[in-house]
Amino acid sequence: MNTNQPEGLAHEIAVPKKEDYHGHPNYLIIYISLLILFAITVFASLIPNPLVVFIIVFVISIVKGSMVLLYFMHLKWEPVLIWILLGLALMTLLFLTLGLYPDIVSVKPYLVTKP
Amino acid sequence: MNTKITWREIPQARLAMWALIAGEFAIFGGLIVMYTLNRLKYESWGEMAQHTNVIAGTINTLVLLTSSFFVVKAHEAALHKNKEKVKMWIWLTLICALLFLGIKSYEYYHEILHGFTLPGTQLLAEGKHVETMYWSFYYTMTGLHGLHVIGGALALFFVMRHATKTEKDYHRIEVAGLYWHMVDIVWIFLFPLIYLIH
Amino acid sequence: MRIFPENASSYGADVDFIFWLITGVITVASIIVIFLILYPILTKNKSRTKEQRYQQGKGFQKLKLIYLGIAILAIADFYFLFEEGPIWRNIEETLPEKEVHVIVMGRQWLWEFTYPGPDGKLYTADDVKTINKLYLPVNKNIHMDLQAYDVIHSVFIPHARFKQDVLPGRNITKWVKMTKTGTYPLTCAEICGIGHANMKAEIVVLLNEDYKKQMAKLYKK
Amino acid sequence: MNTHKKHGFWHRYFFSLDHKDIGFQYMLTIFVMVSIGGFFAYVFRMHLAYPEMEVPLFGLVTNKDYNMLITNHGLIMMMWLALGMLLAVAGNYLIPIMIGTDDMAFPKLNKLSYWFFLISVILMISSFFMKRGGFGGGWTMYPPLSVGDFGYNTAYTSFKDRFFTANTFVLLAITFEFIALLMGGINFFVTTLNKRAKGMTLTKMPMIVWMINIASVLFMFSVGPLIAGAFMLLLDINAGTGFYDVYRGGDPLLWEHLFWFFGHPEVYVILLPPLGIIAEIISTNSRKPLYGYKFILNLTLIAAILSMMVWAHHQFVSGIDPRAATIFSIFTIIISLPFAGIILAYIATLWNGDLKINLPMKWAIGAITLFTLIGGFTGLYLGASVFDIYAHDTSFVVAHFHYTLFPTVIFGSFAAFYYWFGKFSGRELNKFWGNVHFWLTFIFFNGFAFPLFLLGLAGQHRRIADYRQFEFLMQDPLPLYRQIATISAVILILSQFIFIFNFFWSLKRGKKVTSDNPWESNTLEWQTASPPPHGNFAVYPEVHHGPYEYNHPDREDDFLPQNKK
């Protein structure tokens, strides 16, 4: 929480100022590396063990997702607040996963066939 | 991460869009968490995943990744208030969106033709009870994602028309673009989880 | 007048003990809080100067008393957890050696109880069933396989301090040991449709020999 | 009230973009919903105490009616009254004016969110009139029951048959309401961050603005998985999928998890705004700074994060893994600590203060007293997992959550009404009838809710239409407790009419306020005209001080408005 920020009503800053913008990353390089990662994903799926595929694929998805977030959505240049917001969303999902895990994965349902 | 830029310097539309995106992550994330945990539980879902059309899914992923690139180029053009380029990139994006929806409908058509429907009546008749839920998840997740694609495309179209006609509000291109990227990220997670793990 | 229904199970007293423990602690805490709220209201703090009022409100550093309050509550809290941990493990997480085994099945809107047949095993063809009446022997470890047929129900035996939701498609095994003979109610505590209010059963706790006679009677039918 | 004479009725009540008007629209809509919820409470309480009697204004209550009444009472009060009154009304009315700006960041989005809210109300009310009757599956909507038709087993014949059921409509109504509140929440959040008056740093914001924002963000994240889950339940009902059908690999417990994953944070979403309201009132009327502003803030943030890790204490006996229950029990017990800190800080604000015991102050003190002494402390019984085995799904739980929600939601809202009414309307509420209303509510609320504890301890399980068939629940004092609870509840409901008449009468012909700042408060809303004009301030204020600088030693009078140098 900082106290010495520039003041003013929001109408004045609703339209971003020029200096609000940052140096741009080279979008083409990001795009090409996304495609390469995607190719790896598709080829990784040929591995016969589903658990290995799952882990590889999930990690690569996280990398790809964060690349889009960081460079295409310019999260890298956004203020901490946005990071906090997204972090809270991830924290929510983490708690949900931890809470659901024992009740979904480790329960073998006792299936009675419904007549 | 920029710790120096103060909180108030985020333009309000962008801030609201980020909050919306965080909320959407909680919705789609919840679905993905539920699907993934069930996927770990039921190995027989791998068999069902083989019935998905991986080639169509791959093309669709390429289309969405490319459209994300187009949107970001449109944002770059919008910064320079380059009307023609904004129009071009957004139209390319919209074509991508239509292509995506077209391929998706093609997939749906063929899957339904093979009896893999949302309630999975045919599978039930074959005695494959658990497997029906794979298709329920498949249609729920891709369907909800498809609705977001439609919404994002409409938003991009109207924002673009407004910006190029009135020569102002170019920053809205970025905001609608953020939403489009969110749709892309969701697909980045959905595609491998649904199609690729056999 | 008693607060709880009469206790008839081996662990009922433990559950009641936790209640009285917490009640004791919060009675003391309530008296303190009531004093803390009423004292300033009744006296209106007339003698304080302006400076004192302002300084006390601004006294962020002088939070020691509040930290003390939180610490006391924390100690009380963890004492509860310390006390209830073993009880919880005893009731919910462990199963003592099986002496009697029954299935309790909830369905809209009755309770269906299944006992092992003459071969002494459940889930075989000669199992016998009763509706809305459960016969149990006294002082035996009873394993109950709790199941539901259609929607979520909840087995609630107030006199045994026993409660467990039953879910369709899941078999939850819990135990109970009745210590007194008699007839006790078994109710459904989870809303399960229009007949929810009428869903009740009786538990008849019998002496060992009476229980055997009763079983023999059931086999004959 | 008379600031917008030039606008017609339609404009003011349906198309206004002004945040004060939208807040007022929300308020009137919620009054309608509360009347329905209160009427339902009256009917089933009467039925419980006098089961053989025909309830006046309703008639004989069947089991089916009873289930429908309790379900919809719960849904309306939790979703439409508590969430709506405290997030939508308080947030809409107070946030822009307290941070010194003209309106919300997105006025059109604000109007849209009200319309979504209105649609949700219409859907909810129309769900009562479906062919198979209202929704009767409990407000928690546990699936195998909420997918079907509550036990009639009248088979659905077509999609139309499935769609026009109370189940679908209630779920749609809730989804619409969540979307409305999500839009509202994003709006509050952006408004607070981007539109504060010059000089108003984050730590100079009044407590309630913080609380509503924390609540909005908490709501935004916890509701996400439930929206997904509600979508799945809608498909289960209407499309025949099997997400919660165990015979198809689904799991009813999944819904319980998703519901309470939202449901527990929701309790804090509801609790935080009244804590903010109480902070304002207590500090102003104690004429001294709020004790430990940053301390309260930090504790609130901790509690908000913790609140996402405790949800399964609603499910101790629902068949979850008992070891997981232990962990949730520990977190539940831990979450009582930050709230103890907050309440102690409020009490510390009373000490050494120059107390003015006026109406808002009475409501505020009544709220903390009941909430702490009974609502909060009885939470320990239920958080301790062992006793929860017995108390779960009995009237003990009902009494507990009425003691947490009623003091915060109802007392908190009334405190706010009596405090801000002058600002809102430019007129005063009648003090005598205000006092009568307070004491009747206070006494008869206790008379209604306290016997439920005793009934719960005696083993009275919830949601039972007729206790006569349970012998152990008809032993001697228990029917008497039920009657005491019912009579008190009826008087409690009747005494709210005093408030309603007082409210609308004062709105039209109450005494005009003599001063714009009757409580001599510091915050910005009191530094403008009453009622505030369109745009709120003639000159946009510049903030120099924190919100709670009372009895500042350098000043002659005992308050220092935020915009005074």
Give the predicted TM-score (pTM) of the model: 0.93
Asked if the D2-527 domain carries CATH number 3.40.50.150, the reply is no
* Residue B144 predicted with pLDDT over 50: yes
Question: Domains in chain C, ordered, with CATH?
Answer: 12-93 (no CATH), 100-220 (2.60.40.420)
Do the two chains A and C touch, given a threshold of 8 Å on CB pairs and at least 3 pairs? yes
Q: Which residue from D244, D178, D249, D242 is spatially nearest to D216, judged by alpha carbons? A: D178
With a CB cutoff of 8 Å and minimum separation 6, the contacts of D501 are D433
**pLDDT more than 90, % of chain D:** 57
Between chains, do A9 and D199 touch, taking CB under 8 Å as contact? no
| Cα of A40 to nearest chain D Cα, Å | 31
Per DSSP, what are the bridge partners of residue C145?
A: C103, C173
Which chain A residues have any C-beta within 8 angstroms of a chain D C-beta?
A: 1-3, 5, 7-10, 13, 81, 85, 88-89, 91-92, 95-96, 99-100, 102-104, 106-107, 109, 111-114
Listed range (C201-205, D2-6, D245-249) with the worst mean pLDDT = D2-6
For residue B80, name the pLDDT band (cuts at 50, 70, 90): confident
> pLDDT of chain A along its 115 residues, tens only?
333 333 444 444 444 454 455 567 788 999 999 999 999 998 888 888 888 988 999 999 999 999 999 988 888 888 888 999 999 999 999 999 999 998 888 776 655 544 3
Beta-carbon separation of B29 and A89 below 8 A:
yes
Q: Output the pLDDT for position C1.
A: 60
Examine the pLDDT at D4 and tell me if it is beyond 50.
no
> Residue B29 domain-assigned?
no
Task: Output the pLDDT for position D559.
Answer: 87
CB contacts, 8 Å: A108 with chain C: none
Average pLDDT, chain D: 90
Cβ separation of C168 and D246 shorter than 8 Å? yes
* CATH number, domain containing residue B191: 1.20.120.80
Please enumerate in sequence order all residues whose Cβ is within 8 A of that of B68, keeping only pairs 6 or more positions apart, or say none: A31, A68, A72, B180, B181, B184
Please count the residues of chain C.
Answer: 221
Answer yes or no: are the C-beta atoms of D121 and D29 closer than 8 Å.
yes
The residue-averaged pLDDT of D202-217 equals: 92
pLDDT for B42-55, tens place per residue?
Answer: 888 888 888 889 99
Give φ, ψ of A68 to 5 degrees.
-60, -45
ipTM: 0.91
C33-42, D208-217, D529-538: least confident range? D529-538
**pLDDT tens digit sequence for D439-462:** 999 999 999 999 999 999 999 998
Task: Please say if the pLDDT value at position D151 is more than 70.
Answer: no
- pLDDT score of A10: 42
Closest CA to C55 of D285, D295, D352: D352
Average pLDDT over residues D510-518: 88
Does the pLDDT at position D321 exceed 90? no
The minimum CA-CA distance between B65 and chain A, rounded to whole Å, is 8
pLDDT the model gives residue D319: 85
Helix (H) or strand (E) holding C36: helix C12-43
Please report the pLDDT score of residue C80 as a whole number.
Answer: 87
Cβ pair C170:A110 closer than 8 A = yes
Domain housing B176: 54-196
Q: In what order do the strands lie in the sheet with C162-166?
A: C133-137, C200-206, C182-188, C153-157, C162-166
* Domain membership flag for residue B61: yes
D94 DSSP β-pair partners: none
Give contacts of C195 with chain D, Cβ < 8 Å: 63, 151
* Per-residue model confidence as pLDDT tens digits over C127-177: 899 999 999 999 999 999 998 888 899 999 999 999 999 988 888 899 999
Residue A15 is encoded by which pair of tokens? 């339209």
The predicted structure's pLDDT at residue B21:
94
- Cross-chain Cβ contact D222/A10 below 8 Å: no
Q: What is the mean pLDDT of residues D151-158?
A: 70
CA C193/CA D341 separation, integer angstroms: 42
* Tokens 């904004």 -> residue: B86
CB-based contacts of B108-114 (< 8 A; 24+ apart in sequence)? B108/B139, B110/B53, B111/B51, B111/B52, B111/B53, B111/B135, B114/B51
Q: Is the pLDDT of residue D182 over 70?
A: yes
Residue C175 pairs with which residues in a beta bridge? C143
The residue ranges of chain C whose pLDDT is under 50 are: none
Write a three-state SS string for chain B: CECCCCHHHCCHHHHHHHHHHHHHHHHHHHHHHHHHHHHHHCCCHHHHHCCCCHHHHHHHHHHHHHHHHHHHHHHHHHHCCCHHHHHHHHHHHHHHHHHHHHHHHHHHHHHHHCCCCCCCHHHHHCCCHHHHHHHHHHHHHHHHHHHHHHHHHHHHHHHHHHHHHHCCCCHHHHHHHHHHHHHHHHHHHHHHHHHHCC
Residue B78, token pair as written in the block: 């919008």
Judge: A15–B11 Cβ closer than 8 Å, yes or no: yes
Whole-Å CA distances, D391 to C86, C164, D316 = 19, 12, 11
Residues C206, C203: Cα–Cα separation, whole Å: 9
Structure tokens at B193: 């989880």
- Of D14 and B1, the structure prediction assigns the larger pLDDT to D14
CA distance C114 to C111: 10
Which pLDDT belongs to residue C168? 87
Residue C161: helix, strand or coil by DSSP? coil
Residue D488 tokens, joined: 């008190």
Distance from C-alpha of C53 to C-alpha of C39, rounded to nearest angstrom: 16
Chains B and C touch (3+ CB pairs under 8 A): no
